[in-house]
Amino acid sequence: GDSVTQMEGPVTLSEEAFLTINCTYTATGYPSLFWYVQYPGEGLQLLLKATKADDKGSNKGFEATYRKETTSFHLEKGSVQVSDSAVYFCALSEGNTNAGKSTFGDGTTLTVKP
Amino acid sequence: EAGVAQSPRYKIIEKRQSVAFWCNPISGHATLYWYQQILGQGPKLLIQFQNNGVVDDSQLPKDRFSAERLKGVDSTLKIQPAKLEDSAVYLCASSLEPGSTEAFFGQGTRLTVV
């Protein structure tokens, strides 16, 4: 079945540091890929998405590129802020772009210190 | 635009008791999902509704879990009887239609079974 593997956390960075959170996936077809963010006390929010190979999703300074050859969708940000402290989830949806029916990774907790 | 509403936010029950969670999706969203998120893990899909019909309940433990979406709007998820391993956050999400590229999540109900 489908699966998503995220780098284990927690990740602690200083403000303005470069962020990479690794995500790899296993899927039988051609999935759509997503990054969600969960701030403390809040629900999951879609951060960015990519629906086909080589697409780059971007939002709020975060980027991720859909790499079919390496089955990866790594999240990056050039300069993190304290407000980026949250849990980040990589997810995929199989076949069509049915974003609500997704398989999630186990999340990576990011803490940014001033 | 109002988001996905869930209640209660927190619930503590003893094992073998029953509990129900309520979800009100975004107005006009035909597709509704329930997820279970155990601490330290990513959300796992329990059931998907399209309007008032079940599309996928293959991951729902039907011996103790049930869900309904009468009239195709609000939904309730019930557990009876609860077990200790049911302690988790129960998330509701909705999307405009099955092929939507974005789903919206509620804040979740945190269930503790003691």
- pLDDT tens over chain A, length 114 residues: 889 999 888 999 999 999 999 999 999 888 999 999 999 888 899 999 998 999 999 999 999 999 999 999 999 999 999 999 999 999 998 765 566 788 999 999 999 999
Angle at B67 between CA A105 and CA B69, to 5 degrees: 105
| Torsions phi, psi for A40 (to 5 deg) | -55, 125
Q: Does A44 touch chain B (CB under 8 A)?
A: yes
User: Distance between CA atoms of B28 and A90, rounded to whole angstroms?
Assistant: 27
The dihedral through the CA atoms of B78, B88, B23, A47 has a sign that is negative
Residue in chain A closest to B47 (alpha carbons) equals A101
Q: Before B98, cis peptide (omega within 30)?
A: no
Task: Write out chain B residues lying below 8 Å of A99, CB-based.
Answer: 95, 100-103
CB B94 within 8 A of CB B1: no
Q: Does A108 touch chain B (CB under 8 A)?
A: no
Chain-centroid distance of CA A83 in Å reads: 17
Residue in chain B closest to A9 (alpha carbons) equals B40
- pLDDT score of B1 more than 70: no
